[in-house]
A and B are shown apart, each in its own frame.
Chain A
Amino acid sequence: MFGKIFEMLSTIRFRFVRMLIGKMNVPQTLSIQLDLTHACNLRCTHCYHDKHLRTNEMSYDQWMQVLDKYDALRVRLGKEPSILFCGGEPLLSEHFFSMLDVVRTRWPGCSIAVLSNGTLIGPQLFEGKRLDGVRFQISFDGVDAATHDCVRGEGSFERSVAGVGYLRLRGVPFSFQAVLSKRTAKFIPSFFALAKSLGATEMNFTRMVAVGNAAELMARDADGPMEGEALRSALVAILDSSRTIGVPTNTAKPLFNIIDSTLGAPQYIGFQGIVVDPSGNLKVSSRTPTVLGNVLSEGLEKPFLRHEPMVGLRAGKIDGCANCAHFRKCGGDRNVAFAKTGSYFTKDPGCWL
């Protein structure tokens, strides 16, 4: 009796908050990235993880607890669900297909994305498995075997291309993502051409964050994040290539607003995008090591809403950006700032203003 009344009140509250939020220009989803495993079959030279050990990984039941806590928080905040499976390589997790079924059943029609290196995708793993409602993001860090395999290992380009060929055969949408660095910036138009030729829906870039293996690369001067005028030129090249080659790219990211006032969005770290690692740790973001708490022992709501970095990020306390006209549509890359300065609250080192 009381249970039903409570459930009814919760539903009314959720619909009321949804109605109000629906009128605001804010993200309507609360996404959660589930890093199912640290394990990976590749050893990329720039990876933000520097080891891929399967230690202290959560059981299926513990992942279910994480999903329960996520659902409670997203209902409280009046948001729609959005699920990302990541790792390591998520396809190496024994829980991947069962979690996929759970998510699909629990939130019918919700956005489900799998962030994969693409090398394990094929009939051996996917035959007889449902892939409807799922989209993949496949990582490419070169435009042919020579430029890709030197980062991701011999034969990986060929295997990833075969993987996306299989997705195409099954009618599963996929986009590509490359790490934007001093090395890859040279290939920007070719990345778009590759995406077009293989049928990717988007060609996206994420800036190199010098943590994990990437920090070592940078120390050896073998590669590194772009800054200043070089970075501005690379972002302009991304926009130009997207337009001329006709493959969309995600411009809802920091710094694009400085180039074109009709583009750009902040990363929404602190507002959006919950990241839970294989041990149940809630992280500020996937690309930095800061842990806010353990979801199994401390829940999700308190660390996400009340932990100091999250409160500060929501208050917009960024040194050097406070008076910038672009701030609300830019915010600077908080991961890149952290990697360079050890603080989430410093100006984006890549900013050319």
Chain B
Amino acid sequence: MRSMKILFLRFLAVLPLAGIAFAAQTALMTESGSNDKIHVARGPGGGTSGD
């Protein structure tokens, strides 16, 4: 099931649809911890930090 999902994301990642391809690339290469919300008030990438 997981390999099917990865294959599907790889297919989406090469589509000439910038938004979907970009999101598929992000999903293929990154993942956020399921428990972050216990310690963090925001989702990744959208908060303050200046990183």
Contact = CB atoms under 8 A, between A and B. Distances in A.
B39 A26 contact: no
A331 interface: yes
B16 interface: no
B18 A76 contact: yes
Range of interface residues on B (Cβ < 8 Å) = 20 to 34
Interface string A1-40: 0000000000001000100110011111101010000000
B34 interface: yes
Contacts of B48: 84, 113, 115, 135-137, 175, 177, 204
A200 to B, nearest CB: 11
Given A239-B39, A273-B51, A252 B33 contact: yes
Interface hub of A111, A252, A264 (most chain B Cβ within 10 A): A252
Nearest to B25: A314
A30 B49 CA distance: 14
A253 B47 CA distance: 12
B49 A315 contact: no
A256 interface: yes
B1 interface: no
A206 B44 contact: no
Interface in B1-37: 17-20, 22-36
B51 A267 contact: yes
B32 A33 contact: no
20 contacts: A20-B23, A21-B23, A24-B23, A25-B31, A27-B46, A28-B43, A31-B45, A82-B46, A84-B48, A111-B46, A111-B47, A249-B39, A250-B39, A252-B40, A256-B33, A262-B34, A264-B36, A273-B51, A285-B51, A316-B29
Given A260-B35, A272-B46, 16 more contacts: A25-B32, A111-B46, A113-B47, A175-B48, A201-B41, A204-B48, A206-B51, A248-B40, A249-B39, A251-B39, A252-B32, A260-B33, A262-B35, A263-B39, A268-B30, A314-B29
Sorted from nearest, which 10 A-B pairs have the closest CB atoms? A262-B35, A17-B19, A78-B19, A252-B44, A137-B48, A265-B32, A27-B45, A265-B44, A272-B45, A263-B33
